[in-house]
Amino acid sequence: MLAHAKNFARNTFLAGVFAAIPLVVTVFVLWYVDHLTREPLKEFAGIDVPFAGVGLALVGIFALGLVVRSLVGRYVLAAIDRLLLKVPVLAELYKAWKQISLTPGGSSGIYSKVVLVRLDGDAWHLAFTSGEPIGAGTDAVCVFVPTTPNPMVGRLLFVPLSRCRSTSLAVEEVFKFLLSGGNYVPEEVAAAARDGAPARPPPSVPDA
């Protein structure tokens, strides 16, 4: 009983810590941007409104997003990518960064899909995968099985597709579930635990 109480207190505290991190970072960034832009705006534009610089920065970021998503923006990004790959030394660092960078919810990479994986026994484990076989001649895929309450720590395994069940869960939902220590359970996870349906492989990511 005491051990259970200690584990509950530890997991709850850590869940609070990880939930607070993005809030603290957001508040700090807002304060820093306001601190950085308030004096220049006051001096050059005569604007002395709290967090006016934050609003201006958000508008700028939105405009940059529009440019990046446009055809011209994609062309410019592709040109920058090619340029960086031609710079000695920097090219190797850039390629390494592209290979290990993580983009939860993206269309490729280990965090692109959420699956349920059956390992030892009848238990199902939430895992992330790209859905792509690790090589020719095998149906094994690489899956990352995260832990709670820190989803960035876990086990990296190679398992057959037959042990994976695809889901429509968003990566963000799984992160909430893990950070909550199981207090927040997405409906599809609960349904999968109830029905015990046979496993099915996750769909492969189509070639770009």
Question: Quick one: how many helices (H) and strands (E) in the chain?
Answer: 6, 5
Q: Is the pLDDT score of 199 beyond 50?
A: no
| C-alpha of 23 from chain center | 17
| Structural domain harbouring 144 | 113-195
Shared domain for 79 and 56, answered yes or no, is yes
Shared domain for 75 and 140, answered yes or no, is no
Shared domain for 121 and 174, answered yes or no, is yes
Shared domain for 81 and 149, answered yes or no, is no
Q: What share of the chain is helix, strand, coil (3-state, %, to 5)?
A: 50, 15, 35
pTM of the model: 0.47
Shared domain for 119 and 92, answered yes or no, is no
Mean pLDDT (whole number) for 43-72: 76
- pLDDT at residue 154, as a whole number: 86
C-alpha distance from residue 43 to each of 26, 37, 46, 139 (Å): 26, 10, 6, 63
| Residue 200 covered by a domain | no
- What is the C-alpha radius of gyration for the chain, rounded to an integer number of angstroms? 22
Mean pLDDT (whole number) for 164-193: 77
pLDDT digits over 146-167, tens only? 888 778 788 888 888 888 888 8
Q: Token pair for residue 26?
A: 């957001």
- pLDDT at residue 51, as a whole number: 74
Shared domain for 80 and 119, answered yes or no, is no
| Residue 151 covered by a domain | yes
Percent of the chain with pLDDT over 70: 82
> Which of 73, 100, 127 is the endpoint of a domain?
100
The alpha carbon dihedral of 182, 186, 187, 191 has a sign of negative
Shared domain for 7 and 88, answered yes or no, is yes
Shared domain for 13 and 82, answered yes or no, is yes
> Which of 71, 100, 129 is the endpoint of a domain?
100
Q: Can you give the CATH number for the domain in which 129 is found?
A: 2.30.30
